[in-house]
């Protein structure tokens, strides 16, 4: 299975973001012929305040699908590939969720996950983030299934909670997606090392598509995200990576290699404390 991560610089307009994503996806498909593409966190509306986020968010099926959902579904169907939709804003009444979606090659939804761990943090430079003031928290893990593989869903700040990744491994995940809008301040020190640690611990392929560039919060303050999207193998090796510019990177996911890693070092069988 060949996978591609798509990295770009989204803003607050869903229509503009779809227009920016479309040629990046087409370029990745034309160049690398992937079986799977993965997008970043909150690519449909990054930045702005609650009113804009609520306006750009979508009710998900069984309600009639919105533009972002239809774009992801139709991309999967048109190219006959798996599409991991990073995450988009989901609207349930007046409540927002940061929600990840996975679609099969026929456009059918395979999995849906609401971000569990919300980013309420002050970074080393003093910038404050309060994701819980905008979004509700999910309470269930999600593993989408193809005929042959389990694909687990996580989002950004989840990467700091290894128990979630262990739960995904136990639920049958062989690939775990980690779409992100990781801050530059934390990304510089923690992004790569946390992703590689989760890959090594779970013995899964990690696919981490990220936003890059600068967006603006509700007060107009600039927020810069780290980029550096990457694909990591079950031994912790980086198989494909980007730096901080929009684009794509691709790698072949070798599941026989994954099986060999798990057979030679059966860490799940050896666990004693959890």
Instruction: Give the span between the Cα atoms of 6 and 32, in whole angstroms.
Output: 12
Instruction: Give the span between the Cα atoms of 206 and 152, in whole angstroms.
Output: 9
How are the residues of the chain apportioned to helix, strand and coil, as percentages rounded to the nearest 5? 30, 30, 35
β pairing state of 82-92 and 36-38: parallel
Structural tokens at position 33: 């012929």
Q: Catalytic site residues?
A: 41, 115, 156
Alpha helices in 80-210 (DSSP H): 162-170, 184-186, 192-202
Contacts of 208 (CB under 8 A, 6+ apart): 5, 177, 178, 179, 180, 195, 229, 230, 231, 232
Residue 48, beta-bridge partner list: 217
Residue 58 exposed, middle or buried by CB count within 10 Å (0-12, 13-18, 19+): buried
Neighbours of 95 (CB within 10 A): 11
Instruction: Give the span between the Cα atoms of 235 and 72, in whole angstroms.
Output: 31
Instruction: Give the span between the Cα atoms of 103 and 6, in whole angstroms.
Output: 16
Structural tokens at position 220: 């107009």
């Amino acid at each position: 299975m060949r996978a591609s991560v798509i990295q770009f610089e989204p803003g607050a307009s869903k229509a503009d973001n779809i227009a920016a994503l479309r040629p990046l996806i087409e370029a990745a498909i034309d160049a690398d012929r992937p079986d799977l593409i993965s997008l970043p966190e909150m690519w449909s509306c990054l930045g702005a305040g609650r009113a804009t986020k609520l306006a750009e968010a979508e009710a998900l099926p069984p309600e009639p699908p919105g533009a972002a959902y239809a774009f992801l579904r139709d991309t999967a169907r048109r190219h006959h590939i798996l599409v991991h939709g990073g995450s988009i804003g989901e609207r349930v009444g007046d409540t927002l969720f940061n929600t990840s979606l996975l679609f099969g090659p026929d456009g059918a939804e395979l999995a849906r996950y609401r971000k569990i761990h919300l980013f309420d943090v002050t970074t080393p430079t003093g910038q404050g983030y309060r994701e819980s003031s905008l979004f509700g928290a999910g309470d269930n893990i999600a593993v989408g299934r193809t005929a042959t593989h389990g694909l687990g869903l996580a989002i950004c700040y989840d990467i700091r909670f290894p128990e979630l990744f262990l739960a995904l491994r136990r639920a049958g995940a062989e690939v775990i997606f980690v779409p992100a809008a990781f801050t530059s301040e934390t990304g510089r020190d923690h992004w790569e090392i946390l992703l590689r640690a989760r890959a090594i611990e779970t013995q899964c392929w990690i696919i981490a598509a990220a936003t890059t560039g600068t967006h603006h919060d509700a007060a107009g303050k600039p927020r810069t995200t780290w980029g550096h999207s990457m694909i990591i193998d079950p031994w912790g090796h980086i198989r494909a990576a980007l730096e901080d510019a929009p684009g794509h990177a691709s790698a072949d996911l070798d599941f026989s290699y994954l099986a060999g890693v798990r057979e030679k070092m059966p860490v799940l069988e050896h666990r004693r404390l959890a």
